[in-house]
Amino acid sequence: MFKLLSKESNIFSIPVYIGFLLLIVITFNLLNFNTYEAVIAGITFLGIALGYFCFHSIALNYQTHLPLCLYTFFIFGLYPGHLDIGIAVSLLTNSFLLLLLTSTNEDIRRRSYVLVGSIVALNFIFLPTTWPMAVFVIIHVIATSERIGLNIFRFLLGTVLIVLSYCSVMFFFGFTSWNMDYFPFGKIRPAEDYMELMPLIPVILMLIYAIYDHFSNYNKKSPVSRYKYTFLLVFSVAQLITIVLYMNKSYEYLLLLAFPATIIISRMLKFLPKYWMQEVSLWLIIFSLIGFKAGTYFNLF
């Protein structure tokens, strides 16, 4: 199977995977269908579907079927069947951030910082627990920009525009007070029981090994590959902070790591020295995700 998935894909392969994604979303929402759930399912579908195009944009996996297939299994394993509107919007905004910020063209990134600020502010409005993403973007701007002050101003300008627009709309509808339940720093609730995550241990161990292997061979990577991979790692840290601080039993938060985890593991599988290691690791990942899905769906743990 690994050899089959290692064949080169193209842009026409993506609709096939998106079709599987649409089937997954429809199947899990079929018995709980109403207008509100349909809107959330639509936003979720758009956010995850855009992730397939991000693989071609970031181009860290040699344009093979492997990351597309693994991403589909990650979504199947981690998607609970219904999402909070905040998680759904976060999946969509994360895909746009990946497309904008992984560009190696400084001019494109410079022109997009106002839009990036708007996206981060929108993300925070719908899901305040994603505040680490704003910190990540600021660090990214400082680390990669030639004109740091100007680009931070652009980022803050985009943020302020969305905040002012949001406050104006809320004032128009008569909402004139801030609900402290949406203040994320008072709602930190780290998980105390990790039993339900036990099936994911092989995936976690492979992620750790993949990161170790990357830095062990860091000097062999091209500058573009190092830049994009480092971006994904720091992006993942921002998502991981949100997951550790706020997930508790809301395992849908794990979907925020589906895309970067897919790229990191796919690259690790690509560079394993033996074919049997690649094949065994691939099936181990698939069965781990299916096991986690079964455990959470049927409350086995």
Express each pLDDT in 38-82 by its tens digit. 888 889 989 999 988 888 888 777 678 888 899 999 999 999 877
Q: Which domain holds residue 103?
A: 2-297
Q: 42 vs 16, 53, 289, CA distance in Å?
A: 18, 17, 23
* Other CB atoms within 10 Å distance of the CB of residue 95: 22
What is the Cα–Cα distance from 132 to 68, expressed in whole angstroms?
27
Band (pLDDT 50/70/90 cuts) for residue 246 is confident
Per-residue pLDDT tens digits for 258-271: 999 999 999 899 88
Q: What is the mean pLDDT of residues 212-232?
A: 85
Q: What is the mean pLDDT of residues 138-157?
A: 88
What three-state secondary structure class fits 8?
A: strand
* Other CB atoms within 10 Å distance of the CB of residue 274: 8
Per-residue pLDDT tens digits for 219-228: 888 888 888 8
Q: Is the pLDDT of residue 202 over 70?
A: yes
Q: What is the mean pLDDT of residues 171-191?
A: 74
The answer to whether 78 and 255 are in contact (CB under 8 A) is yes
Band (pLDDT 50/70/90 cuts) for residue 147 is confident
Per-residue pLDDT tens digits for 271-288: 888 999 999 999 999 999
If 0-12 CB within 10 Å is exposed, 13-18 middle and 19+ buried, where does residue 170 land? middle
Residue 31, pLDDT score: 59
The answer to whether 243 and 256 are in contact (CB under 8 A) is yes
**Number of structural domains in the chain:** 1
Nearest CA among 203, 199, 204, 202 for reference residue 295: 199
pTM of the model: 0.91
Nearest CA among 133, 102, 106 for reference residue 117: 133
In degrees and rounded to multiples of 5, residue 114 shows phi and psi of -65, -45
The answer to whether 286 and 201 are in contact (CB under 8 A) is no
Q: 73 vs 68, 79, 132, 259, 288, CA distance in Å?
A: 9, 10, 27, 11, 10
Q: What is the mean pLDDT of residues 172-187?
A: 74
